[in-house]
């Protein structure tokens, strides 16, 4: 008697999808902002003092669809990101100086009107699409914003 083997494809966990998307997102931020200094405080980031990717608003306060939004992300130092809890006040001031207050207010509007996705299936589908979108080849050279 032989047992019939059924092979079930395991769906990726939300945690693994987050890890994959966050890795791609960080690479994208490094590509867009190839600076060797912290966006927030201006301190020099060396290989030893690794660059972090900071959120304009705390990641936990954002709906899933905006947690990886490149408009909200910039390279920053460990001190600002971890020890100063994101250094949000200065981050906000730098962002207003970079993109202007109307653009920052548009971001706030987007956050307020975005309904967070609920349910594993909807979140998994969103992650898969976002990962796929970030894997698309870059076709246009991007201009480097001034800081
Ligand atoms: Zn800093």
pLDDT per position as a tens digit, 54-109 = 999 999 999 999 999 999 999 999 999 999 988 999 999 999 999 999 999 999 99
Q: Is 31 within the bounds of a domain?
A: yes
Ligand 1 center to residue 25 CA distance, Å? 20
Task: Give the chain's domain count.
Answer: 1
| Ligand 1 mean position, distance from CA 52 (Å) | 9
Min mean pLDDT across 5-19, 26-40, 50-64, 108-122 is at: 5-19
Q: Is residue 14 part of a domain?
A: no
Q: Determine the structural domain holding residue 125 and report its residue range.
A: 25-135
50 alpha carbon – ligand 1 mean position (Å): 11
- Whether 1 is in a domain gets the answer no
Contact, 65 vs 126, CB < 8 A? yes
Share of the chain above pLDDT 90, in %: 68
| 140 domain residue, yes or no | no
- Closest Cα partner for 35 from 103, 100, 86, 98? 98
Calculate how far, in angstroms, residue 8's C-alpha sits from the geometric centre of ligand 1.
Answer: 47
Measuring CA to CA, which residue among 31, 82, 89 is closest to residue 52?
Answer: 82
User: For residue 42, is it within any domain?
Assistant: yes
| 87 is a domain residue | yes
How far is ligand 1, taken at its centre, from the CA of residue 5, in Å? 55
Residue 66 lies in a domain: yes
């Amino acid at each position: 008697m032989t047992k019939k083997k059924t092979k079930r494809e395991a769906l990726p966990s939300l945690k693994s999808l987050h890890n994959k998307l966050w890795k791609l997102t960080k690479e994208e931020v490094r590509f867009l902002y190839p600076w060797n200094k912290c966006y927030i405080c201006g301190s020099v980031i060396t290989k030893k003092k690794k660059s972090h990717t900071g959120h304009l608003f705390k990641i936990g306060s954002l709906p899933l669809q905006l947690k990886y939004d490149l408009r909200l992300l910039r390279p920053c130092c460990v001190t600002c990101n971890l020890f100063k809890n994101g250094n949000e006040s200065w981050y906000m001031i730098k962002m207003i100086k970079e993109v202007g207050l109307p653009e920052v207010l548009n971001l706030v509007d987007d956050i307020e009107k975005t309904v967070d996705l609920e349910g594993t299936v909807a979140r998994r589908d969103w992650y898969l699409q976002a990962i796929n979108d970030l894997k698309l080849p870059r076709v246009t050279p991007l201009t480097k914003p001034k800081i």
